[in-house]
Structures are given as C-alpha cells and as structure tokens.
Amino acid sequence: MMPRTLAWRPELTALRPLTRQIMYTHTFFIGLTCLLLGLAPLALTTELLAPGRTPTAILAAECVFWGLRWCAQFVAFPPAIWRGSPLYVAGYLGFAGLWTWVVTVFATALTVALTAQHESRFSGRTRSRVVVQMTRACWAIHVLSSRPLVNSR
C-alpha cells in the first residue's frame, strides 16, 4: 500500500533488480512486524496485564519499539520533507498522533503490570512489615532533618 501511495515504482525502477527486491521485501516484513506487534495486545490483553516476567518483558519490548518509532516520527521526518503536500501533512500528523497514542497505551499497560507485580510481592505480613519499616525510615528522616546539623552557638 505504501509503495503505491508514495509512487515508489518510478523511483525503484532506477535501482538494480536485487536492490529493488530487497526494498519490497523489507517493506513487507517491516509492515508485517508492525501489524503483529499491534495485534498481539488486542488478542492477549488479559495475559499482558497479568503479573509475571513474560508479560512485563513483552510490554517493555513494545514500549521500546513503539517509543523509538515515536522518536523517529520527529527526527527522521523534518518539516521540509512533508510540508507542501496536504497528503503528506495529513499523514505526518496522523502518524504522530497514532504513535503518541500507541506509546501511551503501552506505557500505561507496563505501569499497570509492574504495579501488579510489585503488589503481589508484598502481600499479607510482608506488606505490613514493609509499611512499618517505611514509616520508621520516614520518621527517622523527619527527626534528623529537623535537627540542626551544625551547632548554632
């Protein structure tokens, strides 16, 4: 779809046949990867939000992948490339919005998964012990910070 929309055929005919075929093949597999990375969360939403190392790793990988794509939107496509054509402007703004939304969704999901994982580690007595220790530490910090460090005489 993208090669047709951007009229790649005339430009790619100038390439050697092997280079042209590599471009088409890589474009297909990049598109397939993006499609699969986007469909996986739709099919596995519950599993990805469950506590565990595997869902957390998948969500972290998705955050890195789509986060880098979000960065590329602003670094690799300067305004000089897309301004002047209403189609390019719409595509730029549409993809900027899409990548922002995708990164936000995955970052939120990763935060939820990490929070659930953290809470599952501190259950019952362990959690109350941690709360007591944190309270003591906060109290100690408060007491130490309220005392002058240097004698003011």
User: Quick one: residue 84, left, alpha or beta (phi over 0 = left, psi -120 to 50 = alpha)?
Assistant: left
75-130: per-residue pLDDT in tens? 998 888 889 889 889 989 999 999 999 899 889 888 888 887 776 665 555 555 65
What is the number of structural domains in the chain?
A: 1
Domain range for 117: 44-146
Q: What is the Cα–Cα distance from 95 to 111, expressed in whole angstroms? A: 24
Question: 47-59 burial, b for 16+ CB within 10 Å, e for fewer?
Answer: ebbebeeebbebb
Q: What is the Cα–Cα distance from 62 to 97, expressed in whole angstroms? A: 17
Residue 152: pLDDT above 50? no
Domain membership flag for residue 74: yes
Domain membership flag for residue 125: yes
Domain membership flag for residue 7: no
Domain membership flag for residue 51: yes
Centre a 10 Å sphere on the Cβ of residue 70 and count the other Cβ atoms it contains. Answer: 19
Domain membership flag for residue 10: no
For residue 147, the model assigns a pLDDT of: 45
**Which of 80, 114, 103, 79 lies closest to 93, judged by CA?**
79
Domain membership flag for residue 93: yes
Domain membership flag for residue 77: yes
12-63: per-residue pLDDT in tens? 889 999 999 999 899 899 989 989 988 888 888 888 887 788 889 999 999 9
Q: Please state whether the predicted TM-score (pTM) of the whole model is above 0.85.
A: no
